[in-house]
Structure formats: structure tokens, C-alpha cells
Amino acid sequence: MSNLLLTRWIGVDWGTSRLRAWAMNSEGTVLARSASDSGMGSLRPNDFEPALLALVAPWLREGCTIPVICCGMVGSRQGWLEAPYMAVPAAPVTGGDLTRVNSRDQRINVHIIPGIMQLQPADVMRGEETQIGGLLAQEPGFSGVVCLPGTHTKWARVRGGELVGFSTFMTGELFSLLAEQSVLRHSVGADGWDKGAFCEAVVSSLNEPERWAEKLFSLRARSLICDLSRTEARARLSGLLIGLELGGTTQYWQSHNVAILGTDALSLAYCDALETQGALCKRYDVEAMTLAGLNSAASQLLNSPHALEAVQDG
């Protein structure tokens, strides 16, 4: 029997620009994975089901309805179906709060994990709650601070199995705008890294945050008259912006160990930045945490007699 015939459910991480899916067995083991550029930002409401089926069709079979557990921007107002936010404090992943999507194809039974909202100060997240839920599934007694680096970096407090508060910083988006659309595009490289220059810029930004705009233009000037390399300019730009972010998040990382959930390069940069201030951090694989969170939601759904009424066993 093909391993794919053992698919019990499908996990989906549907972001603004990317769609990722995993075929999972009943033990939560990955049988297959696939991805595409059919992110939420490029789709109309009627495009979501065809985009999903194009990715997961090889894992489906006639006469069997397979649960599909989705997280991320697929549940946003511009997504397939808006999934309500849960207000903090809240357990980040609970099977009973999933939003059911009425799909046309009877081979799939689609559910979306809700996002998390905070009223004061106003903030929202979609997708990161699943990664935090994965961390709690892997480390049930975890209590402390979670940093989720990305386009919009999240800093979250977790206590007693619940997400109790969080803040979002648009550091990643600012980096992209400055590196690709400002005058700095002539000086900042598309890749490469200089850890020393990055850490120096982090400290500089923390010590003199009021001069950050001046230091940004200095990158352009140094590339013109001091032969600043494009690699070093990239690292310094990142360091200046992350340094500003650290200045705004001292209440999170001072006197707390920090769990960092992100891609390898970005999570390592945040860890290096925190270590310049003597903060302790531990990095976790973001895909592993996403899968653990999806698995937690799937386990709750599959163990719910009411939810299983809509699922036919193959």
C-alpha cells in the first residue's frame, strides 16, 4: 500500500505569498509535502479551493473525505473565509474553535484555525498562534517569551498554556521597503551577511535610537565615498532596524529567556542581536512548530465525535 493511502489529514500553512501543505498520517508523521506561490494575496475567493486541490489532489481518493487543517492568512478578511479572532488571554490552538469552510469537492473537509486579537493595544496575528501552539505541544510547561521573526515580527508572552499578550513590529517590511525602494537600493546587496557589522549596528541603534534616520543615510554615503560593500550595508541596515525593535521590546526580553521561532537566517540574526545585550535565547525550527500546532488542532478535531460526523473513513 502506498504511504499516501495512509493520509489521515492534511495540514496547510497559507500565507500572503506562499501556500504549503503536508500529507499526515494518524500519528502526525509527514508522508509528503508540497508548496506553491498561490498565496492569499494573489487569489480571489473562488480561487482558493482550486489552488488547494492543485497542490493536494495526489493525496486524495474517491469515497474518502480527508480533513484539511489550515492556518495563516487564508482565514483573513481577504482570504477564503474569515475565521473569527479569539481574544487574549487564549489557548493558541483549540480544535473546538475551528471555522468550517463549505468546499465543493467532497474529498476535503476544510477547517481554519482562528487568529488571536488584543484590544489594548490593538493587535492581531494569524498563523503565528499555530506556531506558538506547536511550541506548547512540544513543551507543555513552557512559560515565558516567544519571538516570531518575519515580515511583521511578533513578541508574545505565554503563561499557563495561554497567549496572554503580544506586540507586532513591522521591521521586516521596513527592511524590504528601504532595501528595495529607497535610495539605499543602490547600496544594499540582495544577499550575503556580515555578523560583526550587524551586531555593531544593533548596539549603535540601541544606544542612539534618535539618530537612526541619520545612520540610514550614512550607509548610502559610505558606499559612495568609503567603499562600503553591499554585503556589509545589508547587514548594517538589518542591524539598525532590529536594534530599534529591541529598544521597543525590552519588557519582553530583559530578565526572560526567549524562544525564537523563525527561518534559520532570520532567527539566528535575532539571536545574535539579543546576545549583544546578554539576553538568553533558544531557536526552534519554524516548520516543526507549525506542524506541531496543526497536529494539535487535528488531534482535537479527529477526537471530537461531533466533528467526525462530516468525515468518512476511507
**pLDDT digit string, tens, across residues 92-131:** 987 778 999 999 999 999 999 999 999 999 999 999 999 9
Residue 305 has a pLDDT of 56
Within a domain: 279: no
Reported as a pLDDT band with limits 50, 70 and 90, residue 31 is very high
Cis check for the bond before 149: say yes or no (omega within 30 of 0).
no
CATH code: domain of residue 122: 3.30.420.300
Strand order in the sheet with 30-36: 30-36, 19-24, 9-14, 66-72, 108-112, 99-101
The label of the residue with cell 501552539 reads: 133
For 17-49, give one letter per residue: b (16+ CB within 10 A) or e. Answer: ebbbbbbbeeebeebeebeeebbbeebeeeebb
**Structural domain for 119, as ranges:** 3-168+287-308
Within a domain: 115: yes
**pLDDT digit string, tens, across residues 194-248:** 999 999 999 999 999 999 999 999 999 999 999 999 999 999 999 999 999 999 9
Within a domain: 16: yes
Taking the C-alpha atoms of residue 189 and residue 231, their distance in angstroms, rounded to an integer, is: 5
Taking the C-alpha atoms of residue 314 and residue 20, their distance in angstroms, rounded to an integer, is: 24
Q: What are phi and psi of 140, to 5 degrees?
A: -55, -30
Within a domain: 273: no
Whose CA is closest to 142, among 117, 162, 115? 162
Within a domain: 269: no
Within a domain: 272: no
Residue 314 has a pLDDT of 34
**pLDDT digit string, tens, across residues 261-287:** 998 999 999 999 999 999 999 999 999
pLDDT at residue 6 tops 80: yes
Cell of 171: 521591521
Within a domain: 124: yes
How many separate domains does the chain show? 1
Please, are residues 132 and 158 in contact by the beta-carbon 8 Å criterion?
A: yes
The model scores a pTM over 0.85: yes
Within a domain: 251: no
